[in-house]
């Protein structure tokens, strides 16, 4: 199983950088373009649904938010990127747990990721075993570094609170999503992201 990030093309200046390798991989801003998306997120806040007992947007809400951000990004030349994180061998883990425990394990991964990205970034359901993270203000050439730091922070953690629980093995993938007027839709980009995860297996 290959678990290193797919290459991304370089983008325009401005965005965020990951912290020093000795620190937690919480993202830091070097040039903040996130506020340019604030009105978009506010306008959509009442239309976005999250999964029950989860911090994750539903797939349909993730599509809706990302489509709106993709319209805004080229208008303001603001950076935007996507990172996906998937639990390897999820089917095997899910069969070992009962349904509520398996759901709790996945929800916990979302919470762990939420603690390691900025409040302006968004998390949503990508697939049965994968989460997409929308990084506002993140330059394309930094995406691979950010994704790998997130993977390293969570790789090997128990999936549930049990000493004998299987530990997470994570795959990451990335795709730059900005600023491309008339470019791919949110659905196309998320499909591309899912495909990048599959190619890592």
Tell how far CA 88 is from the center of its chain.
16
- Domain of 99 in residue numbering reads as 15-200
CATH, residue 119: 3.30.70.270
Q: Tell me, yes or no, whether 10 lies in a domain.
A: no
Q: What is the pLDDT of residue 33?
A: 57
Angstrom distance (rounded) from CA 27 to CA 36 = 18
- Whether the pLDDT of residue 146 is over 60: the answer is yes
Q: Tell me, yes or no, whether 4 lies in a domain.
A: no
Q: Tell me, yes or no, whether 81 lies in a domain.
A: yes
Q: What is the pLDDT of residues 80-114, one digit of tens each?
A: 889 999 888 888 888 888 888 888 888 888 999 99
Angstrom distance (rounded) from CA 146 to CA 117 = 10
Q: Tell me, yes or no, whether 177 lies in a domain.
A: yes
Angstrom distance (rounded) from CA 49 to CA 162 = 31
Q: Tell me, yes or no, whether 19 lies in a domain.
A: yes
Q: What is the pLDDT of residue 82?
A: 92
Quick one: which of 189, 180, 165 has its CA closest to 66?
189
Q: Tell me, yes or no, whether 128 lies in a domain.
A: yes
Q: Tell me, yes or no, whether 5 lies in a domain.
A: no
Structural domain count, the chain:
1
Give the Cβ contact number of residue 194 at 10 Å: 17
Q: Tell me, yes or no, whether 175 lies in a domain.
A: yes
What is the C-alpha R_g of the chain? Answer: 16
Joined together, the tokens standing for residue 12 give: 């325009």
What pTM was estimated for this model as a whole? Answer: 0.77
Q: What is the pLDDT of residues 11-24, one digit of tens each?
A: 332 333 333 434 44
């Amino acid at each position: 199983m290959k678990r290193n990030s797919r290459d991304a093309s370089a983008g325009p200046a401005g965005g965020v950088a990951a912290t020093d390798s000795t620190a937690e991989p919480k993202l830091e801003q070097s040039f903040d373009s996130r506020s340019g998306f604030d009105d978009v997120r506010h306008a959509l806040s009442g239309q976005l649904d999250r999964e029950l007992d989860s911090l994750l947007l539903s797939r349909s809400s993730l599509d809706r938010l990302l489509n709106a951000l993709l319209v805004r990004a080229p208008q303001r030349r603001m950076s935007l990127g996507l990172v996906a994180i998937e639990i390897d061998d999820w089917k095997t883990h899910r069969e070992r747990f009962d349904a509520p425990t398996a759901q709790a394990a996945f929800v916990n991964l979302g919470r762990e990721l939420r603690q390691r990205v900025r409040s302006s970034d968004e998390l949503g359901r990508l697939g049965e075993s994968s989460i997409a993270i929308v990084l506002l203000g993140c330059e394309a050439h930094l995406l691979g570094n950010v994704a790998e730091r997130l993977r390293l922070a969570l790789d090997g953690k128990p999936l549930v609170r049990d000493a004998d629980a299987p530990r997470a093995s994570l795959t990451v993938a990335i795709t730059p999503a900005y600023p491309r007027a008339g470019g791919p839709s949110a659905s196309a980009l998320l499909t591309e992201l899912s495909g990048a995860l599959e190619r890592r297996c």
